[in-house]
Amino acid sequence: MLSKEGAPGAVPIDKFFITEEPFYLPQGREVELAEAAHANRLPLLLKGPTGCGKTRFMEYLAWRLGRPLVTVSCHDDLTTADLVGRYLIRGGETVWVDGPLTLAVKAGGICYLDEVVEARKDTTVVLHPLADDRRTLPVEKRGELLRAPADFMLAVSYNPGYQSVLKELKPSTRQRFVALEFGFPPPEIEARIVAREAGLDPETAARLVHLGGLTRGLREQGLLEGASTRLLVHAGLLLRAGIDPEAACLAAVCEPLTDDHEILEGLREMVRAVF
């Protein structure tokens, strides 16, 4: 276990604990399933569109389990050293600095790799021994093999809507995980979320959710993805700040979705109709 101070150059693990309950409304049995996966030392795969609540769910799960949550936003340049750790020169001395994956393993925490398909395939291979019954992490530069304690959990997420031949999880990776599929909540639940997160009255929140639903119906008209719950909350925050509905929704919902002028005009018409 990592001490509160950690190794030289390490980030203190205390900063990764979530001390206040995050606001999360379950859509089904995802909390029960995730807790059962943790109890049985099984890794977790979250699938769903951008902004539908996957990260908030992981924060809520970490709070319920009382474990630190170490989150990594994956990208094309993410290397194995970025995850596991590296030697650095500090104060004229060479010190080893644990990467987020090593930090979570040592602390018995949760390591959450967001949008894991964005990482290089040679990087995600390091997850394989952690995601099966070995539950080990090779730290090759130090000649160590770390065994994950019972409380450690590996979790990853990705958006199947943006999957391509070049960016998808290999079967050898996918089949190591318990998978939970996330979608946008039913309108009544989503309106409660938007109202709570943006500090809006129920009627205005319901209008924003209705607008979001309309945008999600435009995928066949060239829109890659409709408005996420996150974007609706952003619009709600602008509304609460006194911005008029059309300007708020244009800035927080329409413009982030597309640069196509024809689609944007259609979205503007939707905003005018709803508000």
Domain ranges of the chain: 13-181, 187-274
Which among 116, 80, 113, 117 is positioned nearest to 99, based on CA atoms?
80
**Residue 165 confidence class, pLDDT cut points 50, 70, 90:** very low
* 123 or 42, higher pLDDT: 42
Instruction: Tell me the mean pLDDT in the region 4-20.
Output: 70
- Indicate the angle between helix axes 229-240 and 202-216, nearest 10 degrees: 140
Q: What is the DSSP letter of 142?
A: G
Residue 106 has pLDDT above 70, yes or no: yes
Burial class (CB in 10 A: 0-12, 13-18, 19+), 122: exposed
Residue 29: is its pLDDT beyond 90?
yes
Say what the pLDDT of residue 224 is.
Answer: 81
In angstroms, how far is CA 162 from the centroid of its own chain?
A: 15
Task: Reply yes or no on whether the pLDDT at 168 is more than 80.
Answer: no
Residue 248 has pLDDT above 90, yes or no: yes
Q: Can you give the pTM of this predicted structure?
A: 0.88
Class of domain 13-181: alpha beta
Q: Could you tell me which residue, 76 or 6, shows the higher pLDDT?
A: 76
More confident residue, 190 or 221: 190
Residue 210 confidence (pLDDT)? 98
Residue 6: name the closest of 107, 153, 85 by CA: 107
Q: For residue 32, what are the CA distances in angstroms to 22, 61, 89, 218?
A: 17, 10, 45, 34
Give yes or no for residue 28 having a pLDDT over 50: yes
Answer yes or no: is pLDDT of 203 > 90. Answer: yes
20: pLDDT strictly greater than 90? yes
How high is the pLDDT of residue 2? Answer: 36
Q: Residue 101: how many CA atoms within 13 Å on its side-chain side?
A: 32
Q: What is the pLDDT of residue 163?
A: 52
Using 50, 70 and 90 to split pLDDT, how confident is the model at 10?
low
Report percent pLDDT > 90 for the chain.
79
